[in-house]
């Protein structure tokens, strides 16, 4: 059945998500998937081509080598496509001239299909192929820097060549004359790929390519000038839009090239000054595409790109265009606002700390972001309220978006940084994720440059956003009269909107006819645009703005006008406008010289008092609207007071940072501590009356919520956590505690007819924001509650009870749950505050006991249940990812402070959540609603891969804590057995859902072993109850954790001083267990089995994982984990014998083990035959480690078997040539690199490095004679006879590993290059880890071989001695470090 274009797009979207979710598991499907996607790239529908290109980008995430192969093949296909376009254009032109004319109103009858139509269809197919392939290549170029291996420079060079050929179509007079649309398609494709290449950054775009790129821009810009262009305005605009996008991509992702390339900044500025007049008002393009809707959209996009390019330039670099840009921005703000276009910046301009006051109940939310990341509800709201964007608009911003942002990972290794909000890493993870304003180059440090936000795809909204940003950036350059006129314009724009609203109901304010967008009733486009413009201007101004010859006794005229406008906006029914107005007033109150700031600050504070009293609020004819307006005015004024204090403290911190930098440079500058002083106590007295009353009739619940939030901000920004509280501050904290308790008991209550008096809707709607604010205030007060212990030592206990009650009865709102997770995380850091209290309804002595039930609820399995059981609860819904990440962070803190449980059963819910999260992986670069411009309030997509890594770290932390708390070897071995068997059952999918066994028989060793296995199976069934067999990610994690546990037991037994017999020896284990059964168990753990009884399950799961496949495709990540477990099993059991026949216990499993190891050693050949990426390199490294364990434990006695195993590893000796110690210009001969263009260049060195480390280990093992003579002879027969070529490479690797290890321990400055690599960024973390761990053995091996070589070749020892001279300091340094660690 033929699919429609819409069905194809949906199908391709799902494919992009499925590829990410399945990962390595779908490798075998690529053979069928990639050809189908290639066909979709030539589809006639633009949307299908776009989604097919996105699917290719998703494939490159788990399979980067497949993406590189496609790019090479696609680059080679452009030449044939261009030739076909030219030939078909000539054929179509010739057939058009001979086609018979149609009579008016009657088509020409022709039984045969017209040849010209076939030619045109083929021509369109070729153009679609060029467009689709260029789009896919550009997306992959954008993706490659974020995948393993990156991209080879040869691919970048080839891309530049193809781009040059495509852009030459602009100068092909024959093609331009025959088919201008096809020529523009080729030019657009070239600039699309150029934007993708430039988005890779300076690591790929070397300066030698930049001159070529500038040549492209220069030649193209000369040919769009009036009189020189060969195209019409609509055709020129088709590719000019994409060319400007490539300029923005260059400035955003490669700003360092502005300094590295001579005259780069001047050439960019000249290019923009040449193009801007053509796009501005009255320019060439506006005249030619005035009545074309699609052309108008492209014109808006091109104008946006020009403004964005100016936004990325350093301040002051375009003085000739600054006034013209300012005037253009003003005109666009007026024009677009009058056309009911609303900017998207306002959500990003306000502080995210205040977002909780906009929380709404799920049934009353009207805008995205009001329900705290509830994805399903957010999607419904977005469908109703978001603008629709065309594929052309999506392509225009495709390469300007920062697809991968650096996100902080929650783990125990991330302690809170001093000065962070509330000292909470969980809260700072979200509140601190506001847009980064780091300067890209030193040129941008001049003035107050601000980083532009990522653009939205709707062309008109994007143009309005860019105009506001440029208006704010150039506002400070204008004189006082121009600034005052600008504020007057904004006032008049806002006033006109209020006049129209007062005239009556206007349907146009609810429904946008062109977009079909449904707007909330409180949305006010003109007010939002005016507020965003003023706030952007205030944020762009320097901290101490001059007054431009204005008297000191009064503020600048524009400040007075902006203050008046913001005060009028405070009573707005829209929460985001109130927040923006409060932020703007806070900046005005802390801006200017000291005298101006204090004068304007007093004026603003006085005006806020008047607004709170309702004296400056416009009277409404409707009494209900009048009450609401007064409540909004009071709420906005309270928030403004808090914002003033927060802004003052922000200025103080920046000033302290500036002074500290000055002192570090040797300066001695004294700052003015009173410059940003604010009357904190006066502001607190304005807030207290609203939140201290117990009578709900005296104020609005909205105002009460704002007052609680404002009071928390005032406290956190006025009281220093490091100093002791003064009596005045103690009273403030006590008042805050009283406010929390009174509002918890009185404000949050059921709706009663006698007291609510028509406020039922408000109470139900505002309940989530009130509860979230209460929780945030309790979290804020925790650091100072200890100071109240002499007055009331049970405050923290009562707070814990309040939180438990809110969670139980708070209707599971995501924002409320998130704030509860933050409270628990902070409470675990202040657990000394908890006191036993008989009045509490829950036990509050331990934060873990208090928080774990809630945390387990958040992380519970939310998979659909087809057949309900008595244990399933259908009342809850899936928790948002933000709440789940907060719960993971809270568990990290609890685990670090108290620990979690004493067995793997206590962590089963974490394993279950991990298994669920693996199935929720999605393609992160696009949302599900790809054709909608989502609100900036929705900032976080479901980054489940980040959650997976945090959960893995948490599981390892739980085991580490439980291991560290165990006191004896038997306790630790019992814990390890539980974990290993649990991991084994999950990896194998071995479950048991009911305990039907009746252990009535007398206890025996066999029964003890069977009970341990059954317990593990039942525990694994809790994780696998919704999905069995397990996902490959769970197999990989469980196998890795099992290997860690077994290795810990082996190391613990080595260092143990208690002589009870080895727990891996079957005879000793039987004796220990018999003693335990005789004595009723061992102290602390009771009766339990030992690891020696589970050799067969351990070996079976290790062998099974080492050769794991799925759908006939390899799973190298699982296989590498299986080999690590195999190595641990070998180290644990190799030395022990079977008491029955005296043979080694591993001998009966040796054939399975050798087969598994051989499979891992064949990974180098599998990497060239398969489609997967860097995991094969890790598989080969694990295979080398497993082979060394077999040799070191002397488990291989057959020379033929040994020869077959070591053959893939020893091939390095024949390929290595001796290299003298290099000078600076001779280091290329030692580089660890790949010769495959499509290979993983960053991880590929692991192949050769693993071989080198294996040879070094085995050689040292032989030299130390720690194994029997016969084994030494077998190994010597296989080791390379000539090792001179290996000497130089091993010595170079040891030197690099030594310096990398010192750098990791903070003993050396940043490492940029080494002997075996040109740049540290060229190495994967696995290669760096291998170098750091093995540099000592490589150094020893190099010295041994150097000594032998010098003895044998005395005439050529000069070059060898130079290597030895370089290695001697490493030996003494390592010897010193070893002595220091003893």
**pLDDT higher than threshold 90 for residue 303:** yes
Q: Which pLDDT tens digit goes with each residue over 1247-1270?
A: 888 989 999 998 888 888 878 888
Taking the C-alpha atoms of residue 947 and residue 277, their distance in angstroms, rounded to an integer, is 49
Among 511-515, 793-797, 922-926, 1375-1379, which range has the highest average pLDDT? Answer: 793-797
What is the total residue count of the chain? 1382
Q: Does residue 1029 have a cis peptide bond before it, meaning omega lies within 30 degrees of 0?
A: yes
- Judged against a pLDDT cut of 90, whether residue 1100 lies above it is answered with yes
Give the residue, 102 or 816, on which the prediction is more confident.
816
Q: Token digits for 23?
A: 């990962």
- Which segment, 483-487, 493-497, 873-877, is predicted with the most confidence on average? 483-487
pLDDT greater than 70 at residue 98: no
The answer on pLDDT for 207 being more than 80 is no
Tell me, what's the pLDDT at 866?
Answer: 45
In angstroms, what CA-CA distances link 696 with 699, 776, 1007?
6, 21, 67
Nearest to 1216, CA basis, from 1278, 1286, 1316, 1288: 1286
pLDDT at 440: 84
Structure tokens at 1348: 């032998």
Give mean pLDDT, residues 136-152. Answer: 83
> What is the average per-residue pLDDT within 1007-1014?
88
Residue 1192: other Cβ atoms inside 10 A: 17
Report how far Cα 745 is from the mean position of its chain's Cα atoms: 40
Mean pLDDT, range 160-183, rounded to an integer = 90
933: which strand partners?
387
Q: pLDDT of 230-242, one tens digit each?
A: 888 888 888 999 9
Higher pLDDT, 111 or 1053: 1053
CA distance 210 to 212: 5
Checking if the pLDDT of 623 tops 60, the result is: no
What is the reported pLDDT for 1107? 92
What does pLDDT average to over the chain?
Answer: 81
The long-range contacts involving 901-906, CB below 8 angstroms and separated by at least 24 positions, are 901/958, 901/962, 902/962, 902/965, 902/975, 903/962, 903/975, 903/978, 904/959, 904/978, 904/979, 904/982, 904/1019, 905/1019, 906/958
- Counting residues of the chain whose pLDDT is more than 70, the rounded percentage is 80
pLDDT above 90 covers a percentage of the chain that reads: 26
- Residue 727: other Cβ atoms inside 10 A: 7
Q: Among 223, 260, 251, 261, which residue's Cα sits nearest to residue 318?
A: 251
Helix (H) or strand (E) holding 387: strand 387-388
Instruction: Choose between 680 and 628: higher pLDDT.
Output: 680
Q: How many CA atoms lie within 13 A of 361 on its CB side?
A: 12
pLDDT at 1046: 93
- Residue range 1194-1211, pLDDT digits in tens: 888 888 888 888 888 887
Residue 309: its pLDDT value, please? 94
d(CA 133, CA 1306): 47
pLDDT band at 1088 (very low <50, low <70, confident <90, very high): confident
Q: Helices (DSSP H) in 254-321: which residue ranges?
A: 257-260, 264-279, 284-288, 293-312
Residue of 694 and 1181 predicted with greater confidence: 1181
pLDDT band at 503 (very low <50, low <70, confident <90, very high): low
Are the C-beta atoms of residues 431 and 421 closer than 8 Å to each other?
Answer: yes
What mean pLDDT comes out for the span 923-942? Answer: 68
What is the tens place of the pLDDT at every residue in 512-561? 444 455 566 667 889 999 999 999 999 888 755 444 444 444 567 888 89
- At 1357, the pLDDT band (50, 70, 90 cuts) reads low
Instruction: Report the pLDDT value the prediction gives residue 1043, as an integer from 0 to 100.
Output: 94
Q: How far apart are CA 828 and CA 55, in angstroms?
A: 44
* pLDDT of the residue at 901: 83
- Count of CB atoms within 10 A of residue 824's CB? 29
Distances in Å between the alpha carbon of 987 and those of 474, 992, 993, 1104? 61, 14, 16, 9
Q: Is pLDDT larger for residue 650 or for residue 810?
A: 650
CA dihedral 1107, 1112, 1116, 1120 (to 10 degrees): -10
From the list 745, 645, 728, the residue with the least C-alpha distance to 693 is 745
Provide the pLDDT for residue 1319.
Answer: 73
Quick one: DSSP state of residue 744?
I
Which pLDDT belongs to residue 870? Answer: 46
Tokens of 849: 């006991």
pLDDT for position 104: 37
For residue range 630-684, what is the model confidence (pLDDT) as tens digits? 888 888 999 999 999 998 888 888 777 777 766 655 554 454 444 446 788 888 8
More confident of the two residues 1004 and 422:
1004
According to DSSP, the β-strands at 1109-1110 and 511-512 are unpaired
pLDDT score of 230: 84
pLDDT digits (tens, 9 = 90+) for 960-998: 999 988 888 888 888 999 999 999 999 998 888 765 555
Q: In sequence order, what are the beta bridge partners of 387? A: 933
**Which has the closest alpha carbon to 975: 894, 1044, 1036?**
1044
Residue 309 contacts residue 279 (beta carbons within 8 Å): no
- Say what the pLDDT of residue 102 is: 44
Burial class for 244, CB neighbours closer than 10 Å (0-12, 13-18, 19+): buried
Task: Indicate whether 692 pLDDT > 70.
Answer: no
Query: Which structure tokens are listed for 1339?
Result: 């150094």
Specify burial of residue 283 (Cβ count, 10 A radius: 0-12, 13-18, 19+): middle
Cα Rg for the chain, rounded, in angstroms?
Answer: 35
CB-side exposure of 315: number of CA atoms within 13 Å?
Answer: 22
Cα gap 1076→734, rounded to integer Å: 57
- Of 812 and 142, more confident: 142
Q: What confidence category does residue 780 fall into, taking pLDDT thresholds of 50, 70 and 90?
A: very high
Cα–Cα dist 848/860, whole Å:
17
Give 934 or 359, the one with higher predicted confidence: 359
Span 1294-1332, pLDDT tens digits = 988 888 888 777 665 566 677 888 777 777 788 888 888
- Taking a C-beta distance cutoff of 8 angstroms, is the pair 921, 20 a contact? yes
Q: Give per-residue pLDDT as tens, 742-751.
A: 888 876 665 4
The H or E element spanning position 814 is helix 814-829
The DSSP code for 1110 is E
* Mean pLDDT of the region 101-115: 47
pLDDT score for 723: 75
Q: Is the pLDDT of residue 508 over 70?
A: no
Report d(CA 629, CA 423) in Å as an integer. 37
Tell me which residue of 1203, 1202, 1164 sits closest to 1183, measured CA to CA.
Answer: 1164
Mean pLDDT across 286-313 = 86
In this predicted structure, the answer to whether residue 248 has a pLDDT above a threshold of 90 is yes
Contact 609, 548 (CB under 8 A): no
Region 897-913 average pLDDT: 88
Give the separation between CA 555 and CA 564, rounded to whole angstroms.
Answer: 13
| Residue 453 and residue 465 in contact, taking contact as beta carbons nearer than 8 Å | yes
Whole-number pLDDT of residue 251: 92
Tell me which residue of 250, 137, 162, 136 sits closest to 204, measured CA to CA.
250
């Amino acid at each position: 059945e033929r699919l429609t274009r819409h069905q194809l797009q949906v199908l391709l979207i799902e494919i992009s998500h499925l590829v990410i979710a399945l990962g390595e598991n779908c490798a075998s499907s690529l053979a069928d998937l990639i050809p189908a996607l290639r066909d979709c790239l030539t589809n006639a529908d633009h949307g299908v081509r776009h989604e097919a290109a996105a699917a290719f980008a998703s494939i490159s995430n788990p399979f980067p080598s497949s993406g590189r192969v496609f790019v090479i093949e696609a680059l080679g296909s452009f030449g044939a496509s261009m030739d076909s376009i030219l030939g078909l254009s000539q054929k179509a032109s010739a057939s058009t001239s001979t086609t018979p004319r149609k009579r008016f109103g009657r088509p020409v009858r022709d039984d045969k299909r017209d040849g010209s139509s076939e030619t045109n269809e083929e021509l369109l197919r070729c153009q679609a192929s060029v467009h689709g392939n260029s789009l896919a290549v550009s997306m992959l170029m954008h993706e490659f820097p974020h995948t393993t291996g990156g991209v080879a420079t040869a691919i970048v060079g080839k891309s530049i060549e193809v781009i040059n050929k495509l852009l030459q179509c602009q100068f092909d007079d024959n093609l331009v004359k025959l088919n201008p649309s096809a020529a523009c398609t080729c030019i657009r494709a070239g600039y699309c790929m150029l934007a993708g290449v430039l988005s890779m950054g300076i690591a790929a775009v070397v300066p030698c390519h930049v001159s070529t790129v500038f040549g492209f821009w220069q030649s193209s810009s000369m040919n769009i000038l009036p009189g020189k262009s060969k195209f019409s305005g609509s055709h020129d605009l088709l590719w000019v839009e994409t060319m400007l996008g490539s300029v923005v991509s260059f400035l955003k992702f490669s700003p360092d090239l502005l300094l590295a390339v001579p005259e780069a900044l001047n050439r960019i500025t000249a290019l923009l000054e040449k193009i801007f007049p053509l796009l501005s008002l009255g320019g060439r393009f506006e005249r030619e595409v005035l009545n074309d809707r699609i052309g108008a959209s492209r014109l808006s996009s091109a104008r946006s790109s020009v403004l964005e390019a100016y936004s990325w330039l350093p301040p002051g670099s375009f003085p000739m265009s600054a006034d013209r840009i300012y005037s253009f921005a003003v005109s666009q703000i007026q024009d677009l606002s009058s056309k009911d276009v609303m900017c998207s910046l306002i959500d990003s301009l306000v502080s995210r700390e205040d977002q909780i006051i906009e929380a709404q109940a799920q049934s009353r939310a009207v805008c995205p972001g009001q329900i705290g990341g509830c994805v399903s509800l957010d999607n419904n709201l977005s469908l109703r309220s978001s603008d629709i964007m065309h594929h052309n608009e999506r392509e225009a911003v495709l390469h300007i978006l920062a697809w991968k942002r650096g996100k902080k990972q929650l783990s125990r290794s991330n302690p809170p940084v001093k000065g962070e909000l509330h000292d909470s890493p969980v809260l700072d993870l979200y509140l601190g994720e506001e847009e980064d304003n780091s300067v890209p180059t030193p040129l941008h440090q001049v003035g107050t440059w601000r980083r532009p936000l990522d653009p939205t795809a709707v062309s008109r909204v994007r143009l309005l956003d860019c105009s506001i940003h440029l208006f704010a950036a150039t506002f400070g350059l204008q004189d006082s009269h121009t600034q005052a006129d600008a504020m007057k314009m904004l006032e008049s724009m806002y006033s006109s909107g209020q006049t129209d609203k007062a005239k009556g109901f206007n349907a146009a304010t609810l429904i946008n006819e062109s977009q079909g967008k449904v707007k909330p009733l409180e949305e006010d486009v003109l007010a939002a645009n005016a507020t965003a413009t003023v706030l952007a201007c205030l944020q762009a101004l320097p901290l101490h703005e001059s007054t431009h010859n204005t008297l000191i006794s009064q503020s600048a005229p524009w400040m007075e006008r902006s203050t008046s406008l913001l005060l009028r906006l405070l009573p707005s029914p829209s929460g985001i406008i109130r927040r923006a107005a409060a932020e703007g007033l806070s900046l005005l109150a802390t801006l200017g010289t000291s005298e101006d700031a204090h004068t304007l600050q007093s004026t603003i504070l006085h005006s806020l008092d008047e607004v709170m009293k309702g004296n400056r609020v416009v009277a409404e004819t409707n009494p209900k609207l009048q009450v609401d307006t007064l409540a909004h005015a009071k709420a906005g004024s309270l928030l403004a007071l808090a914002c003033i204090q927060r802004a003052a403290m922000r200025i103080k911190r920046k000033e302290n940072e500036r002074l500290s930098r000055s002192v570090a440079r040797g300066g001695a500058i004294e700052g003015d501590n009173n410059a940003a002083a604010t009357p904190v106590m006066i502001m607190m007295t304005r807030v207290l009356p609203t939140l201290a009353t117990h009578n709900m009739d005296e104020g609005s619940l909205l105002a009460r919520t704002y007052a609680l939030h404002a009071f928390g901000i005032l406290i956190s920004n006025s009281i220093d956590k490091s100093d002791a509280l003064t009596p005045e501050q103690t009273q403030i904290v006590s008042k805050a505690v009283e406010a929390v308790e009174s509002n918890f008991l009185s404000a949050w209550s059921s709706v009663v007819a006698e007291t609510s008096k028509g406020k039922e809707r408000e109470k139900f709607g505002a309940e989530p924001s009130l509860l979230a604010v209460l929780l945030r205030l309790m979290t804020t007060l925790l650091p100072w509650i200890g100071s109240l212990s002499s007055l009331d030592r049970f405050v923290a206990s009562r707070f814990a009870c309040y939180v438990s009650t809110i969670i139980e009865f708070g209707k599971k709102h995501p924002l409320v749950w998130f704030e509860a997770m933050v409270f628990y995380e902070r409470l675990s850091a202040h657990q000394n505050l908890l006191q036993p209290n008989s009045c509490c309804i829950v036990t509050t002595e331990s934060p873990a006991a208090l928080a774990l039930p809630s945390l387990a609820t958040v992380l519970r399995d939310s998979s659909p249940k087809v057949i309900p059981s008595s244990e399933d609860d259908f009342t809850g819904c899936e928790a948002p990812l933000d709440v789940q990440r907060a719960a993971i962070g809270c568990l990290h803190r609890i685990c670090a402070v108290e620990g979690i449980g004493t067995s793997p059963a206590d962590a089963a819910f974490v394993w279950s959540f991990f298994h669920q999260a693996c199935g929720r992986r999605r393609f992160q670069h696009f949302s599900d609603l790809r054709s909608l411009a989502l609100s900036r309030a929705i900032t976080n997509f479901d980054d489940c891969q980040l959650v997976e890594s945090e959960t893995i770290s948490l599981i390892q932390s739980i085991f580490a804590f439980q291991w560290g708390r165990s006191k004896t070897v038997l306790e630790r071995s019992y814990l390890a057995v539980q974990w290993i068997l649990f991991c084994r059952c999950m990896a194998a999918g071995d479950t048991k859902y009911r305990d039907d066994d009746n252990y009535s028989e007398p206890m025996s060793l066999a029964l003890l072993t069977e009970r341990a296995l059954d317990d593990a199976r039942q525990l694994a069934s809790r994780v696998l109850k919704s999905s069995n067999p397990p996902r490959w990610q769970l197999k990989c994690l469980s196998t890795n954790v099992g290997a860690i546990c077994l290795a810990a037991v082996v190391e613990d037994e080595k260092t143990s001083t208690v002589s009870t017999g080895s727990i891996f020896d079957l005879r000793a284990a039987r004796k220990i267990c018999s003693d335990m059964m005789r004595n009723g168990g061992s102290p602390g753990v009771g009766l339990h089995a030992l690891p020696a009884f589970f050799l067969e399950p351990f070996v079976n799961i290790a062998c099974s994982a080492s050769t794991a496949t799925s759908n006939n495709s390899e799973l190298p990540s699982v296989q590498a984990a299986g080999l690590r477990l195999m190595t641990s099993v070998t180290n644990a059991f190799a030395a022990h014998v079977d008491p029955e026949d005296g043979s080694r216990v591993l001998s009966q499993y040796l054939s399975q083990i050798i087969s598994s190891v051989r499979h891992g050693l064949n990974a180098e050949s599998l990497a060239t035959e398969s489609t997967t990426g860097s995991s094969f390199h890790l598989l080969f490294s694990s295979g080398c480690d497993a082979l060394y364990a077999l040799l070191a434990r002397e488990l291989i006695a057959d020379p033929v078997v040994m020869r077959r195993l070591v053959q893939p590893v020893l091939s390095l000796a024949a390929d290595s040539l001796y290299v003298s110690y290099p000078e600076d210009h001779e280091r290329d001969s030692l580089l660890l690199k790949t010769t495959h263009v499509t290979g993983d260049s960053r991880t590929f060195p692991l192949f050769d490095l693993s071989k080198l480390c294996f040879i070094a280990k085995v050689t040292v093992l032989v030299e130390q004679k720690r194994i029997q003579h016969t084994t030494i002879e077998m190994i010597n027969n296989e080791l390379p006879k000539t090792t001179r070529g290996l000497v130089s490479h091993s010595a170079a690797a040891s030197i690099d590993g030594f310096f990398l290890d010192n750098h990791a321990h903070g003993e050396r400055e940043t490492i940029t290059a080494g002997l075996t690599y040109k740049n540290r960024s060229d190495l994967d973390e696995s290669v760096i880890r291998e170098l750091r761990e093995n540099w000592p053995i490589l150094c020893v091996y190099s010295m041994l071989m150097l000594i032998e070589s010098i003895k044998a070749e005395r005439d050529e020892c000069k070059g060898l001695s130079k290597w030895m001279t370089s290695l001697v300091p490493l030996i003494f340094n390592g010897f010193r470090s070893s002595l220091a660690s003893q």
